């Protein structure tokens, strides 16, 4: 499992380096500053289709903010995801 902060340059670097973990987790939680979370969400939503083509054997599981923040509600409304990872559920 490889966690990568939700920045386009770092996500592209992970793909370019040839990493092929079983699970790649684009992270929007702890690794992203609060003022960058909206941008991270947009970047991840835009880059996921490309990543899934380049890494067909890798399960892509975005990590979103916890339920108590209310920030999870906006994530990936138009993205075809089968799985997301919450950081915690109380």
Q: Are 14 and 4 in contact (CB under 8 A)?
A: yes
Average of per-residue pLDDT across 51-57? 86
Over 50: is that where the pLDDT of 33 sits? yes
Over 90: is that where the pLDDT of 9 sits? yes
Q: Which residue has the higher pLDDT, 48 or 73?
A: 48
- Residue 71, helix vs strand vs coil: helix
- Residue 50, helix vs strand vs coil: helix
Tell me what the pLDDT averaged over the chain comes to. 78
Predicted confidence at residue 78, as pLDDT, reads 44
Predicted confidence at residue 82, as pLDDT, reads 59
pTM of the model: 0.74
């Amino acid at each position: 499992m490889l966690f990568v902060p939700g920045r386009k340059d770092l996500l592209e670097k992970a793909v370019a380096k040839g990493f092929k973990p079983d699970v790649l987790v684009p992270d929007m939680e702890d690794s992203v500053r609060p003022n960058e979370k909206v941008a991270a969400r947009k970047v991840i939503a835009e880059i996921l289709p490309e990543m899934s083509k380049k890494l067909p054997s890798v399960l892509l599981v975005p990590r979103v903010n916890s339920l108590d923040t209310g920030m999870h509600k906006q994530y990936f409304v138009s993205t075809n995801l089968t799985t997301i990872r919450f950081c915690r559920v109380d």
